[in-house]
Structure 1
């Protein structure tokens, strides 16, 4: 009977994985002789967690996103909000991903025209890196909005995007609140640790 319960649990985990839940199965056994009347012990442990945080929208093959239209007063507050969700500020890695964010922006016409993303040049002016320390030019997407970056007033060090597309440099802690995008990685594509 234990075998059938475990089989059901494994089947449940596979089915649930298709409905945005992820499960880890751990099985151990001793003296697993299937034939004859030799007793054996089979123990299993299944744990799971919800993959999709509340309010995130799935775009198949790209990722989960949440647009905070009310924004954050600073870039650092936006970083913290995403981290509290178990996510990170979005990093655009392709034209497809930019199109996804533009489509989300289009549903929110009253949001300010610039939204924080997960890159900056805080350490060295003009040397843009992601929140994971990767050079922006290595992410697969580096299409700037015309005339950007411009480091307006000598104080635009945080990354953003324009509602109609293109990257921008933006104030990290002035003239907020600024909307921002959080990204939650697809299963099997864990995000690097934020340094």
Structure 2
């Protein structure tokens, strides 16, 4: 009787999530937290120059992850605005809010003469509407780069 040994090779697939230097990775996205302040529109242009956009917050987990990165008293622009239609808050990609974290009494358009048409995220996890020409820090968001490599283990 002739016996043969069977050798099974398994291909191993490794997926690496990559973000540019100075960007943070969470789930399948990369986030950049600015250290300088600009108006909402200038901040969005800065994000676009990096192939990104002001952050769009899609879940409580994402919101909490971002808030944990903020320093005490920090306020940052997010990709939220009602500049097209007052009171109709939309994300930069055109989607309407499906969840929100507005502070008490917000959004209130308090500076009605100038219009508080742009959204901010505050260090306490609440959102606020403010004048778009204010200078604030911001968070950019873009999809991470997934690199997949497949390897076959060596048999010695």
Give me the TM-score of the superposition, normalised by structure 1. 0.62
Q: Does 1:71 align with 2:31?
A: no
Long gaps (5+) in structure 1: 1-10, 21-50, 189-195
Report the alpha carbon displacement of residue 62 of structure 1 after superposing the two structures with TM: 5.6
Work out which of the residue numbers 120, 144, 153 in structure 1 matches 2:102. Answer: 144
Q: In structure 2, what is the equivalent of residue 162 of structure 1?
A: 122
Aligned residues: 133
1: distance between equivalents of 2:74 and 2:117?
A: 17
> Of the two structures, which has the highest relative contact order with CA contacts closer than 8 Å and spacing of 6 or more?
2
Report the alpha carbon displacement of residue 53 of structure 1 after superposing the two structures with TM: 2.3
Secondary structure of the 1:136 match is: coil
1:114-125 alignment to 2 at 5 Å?
Answer: 114-125=75-86
Report the alpha carbon displacement of residue 71 of structure 1 after superposing the two structures with TM: 2.0
Secondary structure of the 2:37 match is: strand
Higher helix share: 1
After the TM superposition, which parts of structure 1 deviate over 4 Å for at least 4 consecutive aligned residues? none
Q: Is the contact made by 2:76 and 2:120 (CA closer than 8 Å) also made in structure 1?
A: yes
2: distance between equivalents of 1:125 and 1:96?
A: 28
Q: CA RMSD in A?
A: 2.0
Report the alpha carbon displacement of residue 96 of structure 1 after superposing the two structures with TM: 0.4
Q: In structure 2, what is the equivalent of residue 180 of structure 1?
A: 138
Q: In structure 1, what is the equivalent of residue 111 of structure 2?
A: 153
1: distance between equivalents of 2:68 and 2:144?
A: 19
Q: Is the contact made by 1:53 and 1:85 (CA closer than 8 Å) also made in structure 2?
A: no
Q: Is the contact made by 1:89 and 1:118 (CA closer than 8 Å) also made in structure 2?
A: yes
1:73-92 alignment to 2 at 5 Å?
Answer: 74-92=39-57
Q: Deviations over 1:93-135 (max 9, x none)?
A: 1110111111110xx33xx532110010001110011111111
Work out which of the residue numbers 68, 90, 93 in structure 1 matches 2:58. Answer: 93
Q: Does 1:133 align with 2:99?
A: no
